[in-house]
Structure 1
Amino acid sequence: MRETIAKVDKKDAKLALAHMIVAFTALFLGGICGLLQVLVRSGKMELPAGIGYYQLLTAHGVLLALILTTFFIIGFQFAGMSRTAGTLSDKTRLAGWIGFWTMTIGTAITTFYILTGEASVLYTFYAPLQAHVGFYIGLALVVVGSWIAGFAMFVHYAKWKKQHPGQNGPLLSFMIVVNMALWLIASLGVAATVLLQFIPWSLGWTENINVLVSRTLFWYFGHPLVYFWLLPAYMIWYVVIPKVIGGKIFSDSLARMSFILFLFFSVPVGFHHQLTEPGIDPFWKYIQVVLTLMVVIPSLMTAFSMFAMFERFGRSKGASSLFGWLRFLPWKDARFLVPFIGMIAFIPGGAGGIINASHQLNQVVHNTIWVTGHFHLTIATTVILTFFGAAYWLIPHLTGRTFTNQLNQLAIVQAVVWSIGMLIMSGAMHWAGLYGAPRRSSFSLYGNSSQAADWIPYQIAQAVGGTMLFLGILLVLYIVVQLLWFAPKGDEEFPIGETEEHAEKTPLFFDKWWLWIIIVVVLILLAYTIPFAHMIEQAPPGSPGYRNLC
C-alpha cells in the first residue's frame, strides 16, 4: 500500500510559489548584471547605451543579495510552517499576501530607479552617495512587507503552541521563528537609517547626513543579514537532508541550541565591518570582534551534528571505517548532492569569514576583491546551492509535479558547472585580493599602472568563471520553469526528518522566547549604546550628497 504524502495546503502553496517566482525572476535579472560586470572588468567589453558599471553592480547586489534571498526564504518558511505547524488560517494567509505584495511593489520601485540610473549607489548605499528617494522608499516597502510576513509566522506558531500545551514546537517551525526574530531585530537598523536619514536627506528636507551613524545602522543590519541567509540553509541541512538520505536527525536539542546562539551572536557585531573607520573607539571594535568570533561555536555545532548524522547513517548501512559512510550517501540524488556541495564550500567560506572578522588579518584584505570572493563562497555557493537543492523538491511539492530523472541529472550537471565556475571566479577574486586588487572597481578605473596590469589575468579568470555561473543560472531556471508548469503531474515529498529514537528528550525551556529576546536586547545595548552616544555627541559636520557613482 502506497504511503500517504503529507502535503502543504493548496492555498498556502500558492502563497509560497508566488514568492518563488519573484525570487527566480530576480536571479535571472541579477545574473545578467553579474555576467556583464565580469566581462567589463576583464577589459574585453564596453557597456552599450550609456549603461553604467555601478548601475549593474547595484542591480546585481540588490536583486541577488536582498530580493532573491528574502523572497525565497519567506516563501520557503511559509511552506515550512504550513507543513509542520498546520495549514495557515485565512487571516494569517491574508497577512502573508499583504506582505508579499508590499515587498513586490517595493522591489519594482527600487529596481526601476536602479535601471534608470537614478540609484547607482550599490546595495550598501553608503552616504554621501545619494539615490533618488524612490530607491529608499522601495527598500523600506520590502522591509515592511517582510515584517508583515514575519508577524504572520509568529502568530501561526503561537496558535500551534496554544493548541499543544506542554510540547515543544515542531523543529522546523521553531527555526523559522528564530530566523524571523533575527530578521526583525536586525532590520530595525536599516529601517531607521532609511526612514530617519536617507529619505529626508534625498528629499532635501535636511542638508546633511551623519555618515558614521548611517554606516553603523546599516552594518547593525548588514552582518545579521548574512545569518538571515544562512539559517534557512541550516534548516534544510538539519531537518530535510536526514530524510532525503534515509537517516535521522542527530539531536533536536543541539539544533535548537545552535539557532538560539545564532540569535544571540549575530546582531551585536556590526563594527567588525567598520574596523578601519575613525569615530569608533577601538575598545568597542574589540568587543564586537570577540562577539563576531563567538558565532563560530554554533557553526561548529552544526558541522558536528551534520557529520555525526552522516556517520550514523553510514554505520546503519554497514560502514565500519572512519570515512566509510561516504560511499553510502545518495550522490546521484540532486536533492542531496547540491546542498552537500554548499556544505563543503562553507569550510573555506567560514575560514575566510574568520579572516575578515580578525582585526589584524582584515587589514590585509579590507576593501579588496577578496571580500567579494568571500561573499560568493558563502551566499552564492553555500546558501544559493542549498536553496537550489531545496527548490528541486519544494517547487514540485507545491505544484503537484514530479522531479523527473532527467531533471535530476540536469540539476547535477548544473551543480558541477556552478561549482567549477565559482572555483575559478571566487578563487581569482581571493588571489587578486591578496595582491591588493580593489573591490567594486571596473577595469577602466584601475589605470595603466604595472600593478593594474598584473591583475588582468585574474580579471579574465573572473570573466570565465562568471560566464560559467551564468550558464548555471540558465540551467537552474530551465529546471524551475519545468517544475512550475511542464513536468509530469505527481506527488513530490516535502521531506521532514525524524529524531533518533534514543535521543534525549528536548527540554521545554527552548520555547522561553521572552528570555531569548531579553538576552539579545541586553547584548545589543552593551555593544552599541555607549559608542552610538559618542557618535551623536562628537559628530563632525554632516556630509553633503552626491548623486550616484557616475
Structure 2
Amino acid sequence: MIKSPLKSKVDSRDGKLAMAHLYVAFIALLVGGLAGLLQVLVRSGKFQLPAGIGYYQILTVHGVVLGLVLTTFFIMGFQLSVVSKTAGTFTGKQRTVGWIGFWIMTIGTIAAAVMILLNKASVLYTFYAPLQAHFIFYLGLTLVVVGSWTVGAAIIMKYAEWRRANPGQQSPLLTFMALVNTLMWIVATIGVAATVLIQLLPWSLGWVDTVNVAVSRTLFWYFGHPLVYFWLLPAYMVWYAIIPKIIGGKIFSDSLARMSFILFLLFSIPVGFHHQLLEPGIDAAWKFLQVVLTFAVVIPSLMTAFSLFASFETFGRSKGAKGLFGWLKKLPWGDARFTVPFIGMVAFIPAGAGGIVNASHQMNQVIHNTIWVTGHFHLTVATAVVLTFFGAAFWLVPHLTGRKLTKKMNKLALIQGSLWAIGMTFMSGAMHAAGLLGAPRRSAFSDYGGSAQAAEWIPYQIAQAVGGSILFIAIILMLYIFINLAFFAPKGEQEFPVGEALHPEEKAPMVFENWKLWLGITVLLILFAYTIPFIDLIQNAPPGSKGFKLW
C-alpha cells in the first residue's frame, strides 16, 4: 500500500481557519455554561433569576449555545485541522470556501443568540412547533446550517482532490472519518432546514396561519438523533486514530474503523421516531421499524469499544503487562491528552445503556419527558463528547498556535477533567434518579407546585445544583487553559498525534470509498422509513394546528 506522507505541522493558514472556529466554540462554552449554572440553581428552589430573566430563556440559551453552537464550531474546526494534516494543505479556493462558511455560521449564531437574549425565542433547544420564535431566530439557525454546509464543502473538495491525485488508494483514515461525518451532517440537516424554511419561518413572518405540528416534530427528530452522532463521531475519531498514538500504541484495525463509520452513516438517520414513541399520528409499525434501526447502531458502537480496548491491551502487552487487566497500569495516566478523553470513554458505557432504555418502547414510557432524558444527554454529549473535545484541545490548540502544552497546563488539565467527572456524577446521577421518580424535564422549580411527590425531588435538585456548580468551576478552568495554550504558553512544536495501523499491510477494501453505494443505501433507508409515515401525517393532519407566540 502506498502511503501519503504526513506533514509534521498543519499549515498556518489552515490553522487560523480552524482556530477561528475554536474561538467561537469556547466563547459558547462560557455563555452556555453560565446559563446552565443558573438553570440548576433555579431548579434547586434556592435561587431566583434577577432582572426579569425567564427560566425558559436561559434554558434555551443553554441548549442552543452548547448543543448546537459549541459542538458545530468545534467539530468543524477539528475536522478542518485533521483533513489539512492528513490529506494536505487546503488550496486557496478551498480555504476561502471554509472562511465563507465560518462567517455565515457566525452571523447566524449572533442573530439567533440576540433573539434568545431579548426573550423573543424562548423555544427550547428543540425549537419545533407549537412554540414560535421571532423570524430572525429561525433565519439565524438557517445561516448556521448553510454555513456548516459550506465549511463541509471545503472538506469534500479536499477529499475529492486527494482521490484524484491518488487513484486506487484508500484515503487517510482521519480524512475518511471527517468526510463520513460531514456527509451524515448534510443529509441530516436537510430535515431541520426543511421545517425551518418551509414551516417555521413563513409561520413566524405571518405568511401562514397554521403549521402541521406533527410534521414539524418529525422533521426535527429526523435531524435530532443523527445530531447525536454528529457530536459523537469526532470523539470516535480521537478515540480510534489519535489516542493510540498518544499512548505509544497502534490502531487495532484500520478497516474496522472505516466499517464502523459507514454503519453510522447508514443507521443514524432513519431512527427519529424513537424520540416520538408516545406521539399520536405515527403508526406503531413504523415506530417499531425505526426502533429496530436504532438498535442496529449498537453494532458499530460495540465495534468501537472492542477496537479501543484492543488497542490499549495490545500496547500494554507490548510493555510487558501480565494478567487480565495488567495493561491498565501501562497506560499514561499522567497525560491529560489521554486521561481526560478516557474518562469520556468510560462515561459512554452508562450513557449507551441509558440510550437503550430511551429507545425501548416499554422502558421509554417510564422515563419519557422526565429529567432522566436530560441526564442521558449530559452523559453522552456533555461528558463523553465534551471531555474528548477538551482532551483534543490540549494538543490541538498549541499545535495550531505554535505553542507547547507545559507540565503546569497538563496538571491543570488533569484537575479540570477530574472536576468535570465529579460534577457530572452529581448532576447527571441526580437527574437519572429524579427521572425514575417522575421529575419532569424542561421545568422550573416553581412549576412543581406543593405536591408530596415534588418534595421527593428536592434533594436530587439540590444535588444537581452542587454538580452544576462544580462543572462551572471546571468550565472556568478549561477556559483558562484554552487562553493560555492559545496566547501565553511558550513557543514550540506540539505534536499533532496521528496513529498508525497495527497491520499496515492489510489494505481496507476500496468499497468503503464508493460513495454512490453508501449514500444510495442511506437514501433508500430514509425513504423506506419515512415516506409512508409522512404521507399519513400530512393527509390525516387535524385542521388548524396553531402554535403559541412567546412575545
Q: Taking structure 1 as reference, are residues 5 and 283 closer, same or farther at Cα in structure 2, changes over 3 Å only?
A: closer
Aligned partner of 1:285 in structure 2 is 287
Q: For 1:323-342, list aligned pairs within 5 A.
A: 323-342=325-344
Aligned partner of 2:178 in structure 1 is 176
Deviation at 1:428, TM superposition (A): 0.3
> Deviation string for 1:111-149 (max 9, x for gaps)?
000001000000101211110001100000000000011
> Deviation string for 1:249-274 (max 9, x for gaps)?
00000000000000000000000000
Deviates more, 1:220-229 or 1:313-322: 313-322
Aligned partner of 2:536 in structure 1 is 534
**Does the aligned pair in 2 maintain the 1:140–1:191 contact within 8 Å?**
yes
Q: For 1:125-524, list aligned pairs within 5 A.
A: 125-501=127-503, 504-524=506-526
Deviation at 1:39, TM superposition (A): 0.4
Give the whole-Å Cα distance in 2 for the aligned partners of 1:302 and 1:545.
42
Q: For 1:56-95, list aligned pairs within 5 A.
A: 56-95=58-97
> Deviation string for 1:455-507 (max 9, x for gaps)?
11000000000000000000000000001100110100110000013662211
Q: Does 1:50 align with 2:52?
A: yes
Give the whole-Å Cα distance in 2 for the aligned partners of 1:56 and 1:184.
29
Give the whole-Å Cα distance in 2 for the aligned partners of 1:532 and 1:422.
38
Deviation at 1:222, TM superposition (A): 0.2
- In structure 1, what residue type is equivalent to 2:307? S
Give the whole-Å Cα distance in 2 for the aligned partners of 1:534 and 1:155.
39
**Does the aligned pair in 1 maintain the 2:253–2:503 contact within 8 Å?**
no
Compute the RMSD of aligned alpha carbons: 0.9
Deviation at 1:152, TM superposition (A): 1.2
Q: Taking structure 1 as reference, are residues 345 and 503 closer, same or farther at Cα in structure 2, changes over 3 Å only?
A: farther
Give the whole-Å Cα distance in 1 for the aligned partners of 2:154 and 2:507.
29
Give the whole-Å Cα distance in 1 for the aligned partners of 2:504 and 2:105.
44
Q: Does 1:544 align with 2:540?
A: no
Give the whole-Å Cα distance in 1 for the aligned partners of 2:128 and 2:42.
23
Give the whole-Å Cα distance in 1 for the aligned partners of 2:167 and 2:548.
57
Q: TM-score, normalised by structure 1?
A: 0.98
- In structure 2, what residue type is equivalent to 1:171? L
**Does the aligned pair in 1 maintain the 2:271–2:291 contact within 8 Å?**
yes
- In structure 1, what residue type is equivalent to 2:541? A
Deviation at 1:5, TM superposition (A): 7.3
Percent same amino acid among aligned pairs?
68
Deviation at 1:509, TM superposition (A): 1.3
Deviation at 1:396, TM superposition (A): 0.2
Structure 2: state its 5+ residue gaps: 1-5
> Deviation string for 1:307-354 (max 9, x for gaps)?
000010001000121111000000000000000000000000000000
Deviates more, 1:497-506 or 1:344-353: 497-506
Give the whole-Å Cα distance in 1 for the aligned partners of 2:531 and 2:293.
16
Q: TM-score, normalised by structure 2?
A: 0.98
Give the whole-Å Cα distance in 1 for the aligned partners of 2:526 and 2:93.
33
Q: What is the aligned counterpart of 2:41 among 24, 39, 42?
A: 39
Give the whole-Å Cα distance in 2 for the aligned partners of 1:452 and 1:251.
51
> Deviation string for 1:13-63 (max 9, x for gaps)?
000000000000000000000000000000111111100000000000000
**Does the aligned pair in 2 maintain the 1:331–1:337 contact within 8 Å?**
yes
Deviation at 1:508, TM superposition (A): 1.3
Give the whole-Å Cα distance in 2 for the aligned partners of 1:502 and 1:214.
47
Give the whole-Å Cα distance in 1 for the aligned partners of 2:130 and 2:215.
12
Aligned partner of 2:3 in structure 1 is none
SS at 1:500's partner residue? Answer: coil
- In structure 2, what residue type is equivalent to 1:451? Q
Give the whole-Å Cα distance in 1 for the aligned partners of 2:549 and 2:381.
29
> Deviation string for 1:387-420 (max 9, x for gaps)?
0000000000000001000000000000111100
Give the whole-Å Cα distance in 2 for the aligned partners of 1:503 and 1:534.
52
Give the whole-Å Cα distance in 1 for the aligned partners of 2:342 and 2:460.
28
Deviation at 1:177, TM superposition (A): 0.4
Deviation at 1:544, TM superposition (A): 1.9
Give the whole-Å Cα distance in 2 for the aligned partners of 1:56 and 1:264.
35
Aligned length: 546
**Does the aligned pair in 2 maintain the 1:59–1:111 contact within 8 Å?**
yes
**Does the aligned pair in 2 maintain the 1:268–1:523 contact within 8 Å?**
yes
Give the whole-Å Cα distance in 1 for the aligned partners of 2:375 and 2:433.
9
**Does the aligned pair in 1 maintain the 2:7–2:88 contact within 8 Å?**
no
Aligned partner of 2:12 in structure 1 is 10
Deviates more, 1:4-13 or 1:21-30: 4-13
**Does the aligned pair in 2 maintain the 1:335–1:393 contact within 8 Å?**
yes
- In structure 2, what residue type is equivalent to 1:152? A
Give the whole-Å Cα distance in 2 for the aligned partners of 1:483 and 1:541.
57
- In structure 1, what residue type is equivalent to 2:216? S
